Amino acid sequence: MIYNPNTFSNINEVKTTHLDLNFIVDFKCKILDAVVTLKLVTLVDNVSKIILDTCYLNIKSVSCCGAQLEHNLADITEKFSSALHIQLNDKLSANTKFDLIINYCTSAVQWLEPIFYSQTSEKNHPYLFIQCQAIHARSLAPCQDTPAFKLSYHASVQVPQPLRALISAVELVGNLCCLEICRTEKFIEIGEKFLTLYEWNKYELLVLPASFPYGGMENPCLTFVTPTLLAGDRSLVDVVSHEIPHSWMGNLEHFWLNEGWTVSIERKIMGRLHGEATAEFDAIIGWRALEQDIELFGESNVLTALTPKLKVVDPDDSFSSVPYKKGCLVTCSWNVKNEFDHTLAKACHELAERWHRARDNQVFDEFSPDDIKIFTPEQTMVFLERLFEFSPLPFPVIEALINFIVSWMLAIPKYDLDGNKPLYRLLNQTKNGSELAKKTFRENKSFYHPIAVAMIEKDILK
């Protein structure tokens, strides 16, 4: 029996095998006018109804075999939206295949304004993208929004000129306008040595507007990435080494299996490309992130488990390093005793201790930007994190430190959840910082993606 508390769908009675999606995009009214055909098969006898997940969808009609079907939307819930109940005209026996055709429209997707909200870079055209993880596919179409079933799909998208539509598929329609990120082919080549041949024929990267709330999103054939990866010196492109292994790992039923295996392969790729010290350094960072998230949630919190019970929890609220880092420890038996090669970490800690010892200085000639010239961005982050473990630095030291790392600071991701969420949370916890955090968030809220807005609000406004 399949258990998934985050779907309303009767997943133990019926299964989706294919979706045929047809969209007409109206940017002026911010509406997707849509028709979806669900190919379904019954799993048991006497199936008389279908229940699907929805999120703010306007259902116009539901039909099967040319006959209209009775249907109703249940009341919306705070965490999982609402269920669409569809009454079949006849009871169906097990292994019966049939199609449901649903006409509907939706506005509950990611619309980015060109000018008013300044959410796009050139501010000339509107922009729309779809984010389905974790349980947002139900805002795009009525469906069984669960990882329990794997299915194929076909999509047709009509957009006004001069805009183009792109979808995650082997055959992409439209002109892909994307800056080439080096080493991508090398990542795939190394992955093939550890795993199997890359089956998808192509791998494209689409750089989204800055309000995209994630570092990357592993859609097959077309990975979405944040523009903050484009630092100008190719120092941040190794993030792609995490997204590429998803092409092999897929999206497994348990999130920790999906991400745990992916992190494991990512580290193998980094070790092969840059040396084992780099892979071990990433493990050190991962271990620390895992400790911090367990401390944040609390050791006995169910969200620190590999398979957390999310019966009354929005999956977005469970997002942390736990399924990634703890999942990696389990899937590859990575060094669970925290005995890593500390070569790269040692240089970060030693530099931080030098600044700590200089807290009473008035002159800082002993420091130079060359001190971090050969640091990777990850090393610079570890250096700064180590500084936070000391008592607060006096203002003259902070001012000198800012000048010291200003060139690197320009490359820090400014808009994605990994950077913004902890920044707002920590500022909100500081003395006299709560009002500043709330004020800054409210002033910039219109720029952020709706998912980022919802998660930050839960941290600092509730």
Assign residue 195 the CATH number of its domain: 3.30.2010.30
Q: Are residues 178 and 220 in the same domain?
A: yes
What was the pLDDT predicted at 347? Answer: 95
Q: Which of 224, 249, 274 is the last residue of a domain?
A: 249
| Domain assignment of residue 450, yes or no | yes
Look at the chain and count its residues.
Answer: 462
Catalytic residues: 243, 324
- Are residues 67 and 150 located together in one domain of the fold? yes
Q: Are residues 151 and 36 in the same domain?
A: yes
Euclidean distance between the first and the last CA atom of the chain, given in angstroms as a whole number: 37
pTM: 0.81
* Same domain, residue pair 185 and 214: yes
**Which among 413, 445, 420, 449 is positioned nearest to 136, based on CA atoms?**
449
Query: Annotated binding site for Zn(2+): which residue ranges?
Result: 242, 246, 259
Indicate whether 4 belongs to any domain: no
The rounded distance, in Å, linking the Cα atoms of 227 and 415 is: 9
How many distinct helices (H) and strands (E) make up the chain?
A: 12, 14
63 & 151 share domain: yes
DSSP letters for 172-201:
--S-------TTHHHHHHHHHHHS----SS
In a domain, 184, yes or no: yes
pLDDT tens, residue order, the chain (462 aa): 888 899 999 999 999 999 999 999 999 999 999 999 999 999 999 999 999 999 999 999 999 999 999 999 999 998 999 999 999 999 999 999 999 999 999 988 878 766 544 455 566 778 888 888 889 999 999 999 998 888 999 999 999 988 888 888 765 444 444 444 667 889 999 999 989 999 888 888 888 877 777 888 888 888 888 877 777 677 778 888 999 999 998 767 688 998 999 999 999 999 999 999 999 999 999 999 999 999 999 999 999 999 888 888 888 888 899 999 999 988 876 555 567 889 999 999 999 999 999 999 988 889 988 888 889 888 988 998 898 889 988 888 888 888 777 644 544 444 455 667 777 887 888 777 888 888 888 888 877 777 788 888 888 887
Bond from prior residue into 369 cis (ω within 30 degrees of 0):
no
Specify whether 405 is located in the same domain as 451.
no
* Predicted pLDDT at 219: 82
Kindly state whether residue 130 falls inside one of the protein's structural domains.
yes
How many whole angstroms separate alpha carbon 310 and alpha carbon 295? 19
Query: Is 255 found in the same domain as 245?
Result: no
20 with 154, same domain?
yes
CB count within 10 Å of CB 41 equals 15
117: domain CATH number is: 2.60.40.1730
The answer to whether position 2 is within a domain reads no
Cα–Cα distance measured from residue 143 to residue 29, given in angstroms and rounded to the nearest whole number: 24
**Residue 78 domain-assigned (yes or no):** yes
Residues 354 and 390 placed together within one structural domain of the fold: yes
Residue 436 structural domain? 417-460
Residue 319 pLDDT = 87
DSSP E strands in 43-199: the ranges are 47-54, 57-64, 67-68, 70-73, 82-92, 97-106, 110-112, 127-129, 152-158
Q: Total structural domains in the chain? A: 5
Residue 275: CATH number of its domain? 1.10.390.10
Q: Does residue 7 fall inside a structural domain?
A: no
From 322, 341, 360, give the residue that closes a domain. Answer: 341
Q: Are residues 18 and 83 in the same domain?
A: yes
Check whether residue 241 and residue 259 sit in a common domain. Answer: no
Is 237 within 8 Å of 229 (Cβ atoms)? yes
User: CA 453 to CA 28: how far, in whole Å?
Assistant: 23
For residues 80 and 82, what is the distance between their CA atoms, to the nearest angstrom?
6
Q: Is residue 424 in some structural domain? A: yes
The phi, psi pair for 290, rounded to 5°, reads -65, -45
State how far the Cα of 45 lies from the Cα of 215, in Å rounded to an integer: 45
